[in-house]
Amino acid sequence: MKLVKNLYLNNRLFISLTGVVVCFILSFIIDGFVWIPQVLFFGLLAFILADVLLLFRTRKGIHGHRFTPEKLSNGDENEIRIYLENFYPFVAAVEVIDEIPHQFQRRDLAFRIKLSTLESKTITYSLRPVKRGEYSFGAVNVFVNSPLGLLKRKFSFSQDALVPVYPSYIQMRKYELLAISNRLTDSGIKKIRRIGQNTEFELIKEYVQGDDIRTINWKATARKSQLMVNHYQDERSQQVYSLIDKSRVMQMPFNGLSLMDYAINACLVISNIAIKKSDKAGLITFQDSVGTTLAASRGNRQMAQLQEVLYNQKTGYRESDISVLYSHIRRKVTQRSLLLLFTNFESLYGMQRQLPFLKSLANQHLLVVIFFENTELRTFIDNPAKNLKEIYHKAIAEKFAYDKKLIVKELQKNGIQTILTPPEQLTVNTINKYLELKARNMI
């Protein structure tokens, strides 16, 4: 039964059988050719038996395995590898069909390769998930053609693998490496000159070439009979809170990824960079009520906890309420902090209803309101109108785009830092703003 289950017929066999049937029909029409279909039939049967013997004589003709990461990175290209090795005594023509999770909606993922005896190859492809959660991989199905090409044998490997999709840890590591190597400008991060000094005294040490002569401690120099300088360090351990709106305004998708997932990915990156800059990173999620609160910290486990918390966030269908967020922050966040509010405003009226509470937050903390530019509207506006209907539509689109600019001006007029950004540039623009505020000693 197992042999029958794993045995498949090739198109070449169907063509051969069709030829035998045609010969049988001709034998009844033309006398003296009765023996031809019989010879062809038994010859074909012999070839089939030979193919079956060659395919099933080797018990494990093909060995294979799928290698997936322990977790996938949301919104990024994740590398998947399939390892195959041929134990047949002949060159195997192989077709590989991988059963990827249904969330990707792809049914064309097939590869065709040839493997010599004892040869191994690795097939590499990538998948880009756009939604967090658990993704179930099916089996890796390998179909091996027989040497004569009449039959196929099926092998299945790596069945039922469950892989979670987490917020973009690939993006987080990328910016972390750039920050460590001082190469953030390679990804569009602006190099901002530090204004003034905001330092704490740390220790007195011996002068070495390159030290600022303005920091020479003359009293210590007189006592030691050698140049001594004061050593300062930047003020550290400022609190950076990411405030993520989970209401219905954050469900809008761009390039398959929702606005909330863009915000979650940016939150993970900026929190990691803040910790690398010796600040504390925290998180608050909300819609009509406060959801999750993770107190600001720079401990060793903070980033791991942040990833787990962000992994479980889901958008809701209710309207956001900044007043609830303000009350919660007033109780829980007692130290002046940098608040990065990820939300979205589609109308000036919608922002004005929340403005009193945004001003109250800005009076006690350094508030940065981050919301999104509709890139699809921008593309529509840039295309020339061809008829009267498109002129009307373009005028409406320009009105919406202009409202976004009015929102920015209104917030800035009330002393609130603002970022209006395309979703794809959210992470870079948020890092730029954080570094700018650090350089200006505003936090």
- pLDDT confidence band for 78 (50 / 70 / 90): very high
SS3 content of the chain, % helix, strand, coil (to 5): 40, 30, 30
Tell the burial category of 131 from Cβ atoms under 10 Å away from its Cβ (0-12, 13-18, 19+): middle
Q: Is 289 left (phi over 0), alpha (psi -120 to 50) or beta?
A: beta
Q: What's the confidence (pLDDT) of residue 196?
A: 46
- Residues paired with residue 81 on neighbouring β-strands, in sequence order: 67, 124
Architecture of domain 169-193+236-439: 3-Layer(aba) Sandwich (3.40)
Checking if the pLDDT of 124 tops 70, the result is yes
CATH superfamily label, 1-166: Immunoglobulins (2.60.40.10)
Q: What's the confidence (pLDDT) of residue 48?
A: 66
Provide the residue ranges of all domains of the chain, joining segments of one domain with +: 1-166, 169-193+236-439, 199-234
- Residues paired with residue 203 on neighbouring β-strands, in sequence order: 231
Tell the burial category of 214 from Cβ atoms under 10 Å away from its Cβ (0-12, 13-18, 19+): exposed
Looking up tokens 């192989």 gives 94
CA distance 148 to 146: 5
Question: In Å, how far are 341, 343, 376 from 348, measured between CA atoms?
Answer: 17, 14, 19
CA distance 262 to 74: 9
Tell the burial category of 180 from Cβ atoms under 10 Å away from its Cβ (0-12, 13-18, 19+): exposed
Q: Kindly report, residue by residue over 38-73, the tens digit of the pLDDT.
A: 555 556 566 667 767 777 788 888 999 999 999 999
pTM of the model: 0.79
